[in-house]
Every structure is written in structure tokens, then in C-alpha cells.
A = this chain, B = another copy of it.
Amino acid sequence: MTNASAMLTALGDPTRQSIIDALSREPLAVGELARVLPISRPAVSQHLKVLKDVGLVLDRQEGTRRLYRVDPDALAQVREHLDGFWARSLTAFAQRTRSEEENDDQDDPGDPS
């Protein structure tokens, strides 16, 4: 499992999507996230651990608080991974269209001109 797909898997949880959404606007401490989200503070901590393990968020000690923020480079990696799927699906579609045109030629082998 590549790192990008691991990040994609980590993003599969709606709560973690909300966390990323909030952290993308501004860095937040765990307690601040817990106040916004409908879950307890330990639950937020556990989600943050998952996100940090795959590299989607970074943390920094700020006095007694711990500030979390998203890593834009990691997010870019996931985006490029999806971009790969997208590009392949497009070229596959283009090739399929060409094959159909060739099949049309085969179905009616007469000269179209």
C-alpha cells in the first residue's frame, strides 16, 4: 500500500474529513477541535493520531497546547494519486472510442468515402 493510498484510506472517515477541513482554514489545538466537533476530546486525539501517522497533519508544541495543521504537500500527493486514476480513465475512454471506430470499419468493410 503506497503512502498516497494510505492517506486516501485515512480520509475515508467523515469525522477526519471535518478535521482536515477545519485545520485547512487555520491551525487548531485538540481542545478547540473537540469544541467544534460533536465528539469528545480523546476521540479527536485518536483521529489526529491516524492523520499524523499517514503524514496528513503536522503538530507543534505551543506552550501547554499542541497545534495541529495540515501538510499541503501530503494533500498534493493524494490529489496526484487521484489524478492518476482520472488520467488513466480518460485515456482508456479515448482508446475505447478509437476501437469502436475501427470496429465500425470492420462491421461495414466498405470504403466510407
Contacts and interface: CB of A to CB of B under 8 A. Distances in A.
Interface of A: 1, 5, 8-14, 17, 20-21, 23-27, 69-72, 75-76, 78-79, 82-86, 88-90, 92-93, 96
A70 B9 CA distance: 19
Contact of A82 (B26, B82, B93): B82
A79 B89 contact: no
B72 A27 contact: no
Contact of A79 (B71, B79, B93): B79
A90 B1 CA distance: 27
A1 B15 CA distance: 11
Contacts of A79: 79, 82-83, 86
A25 B75 contact: no
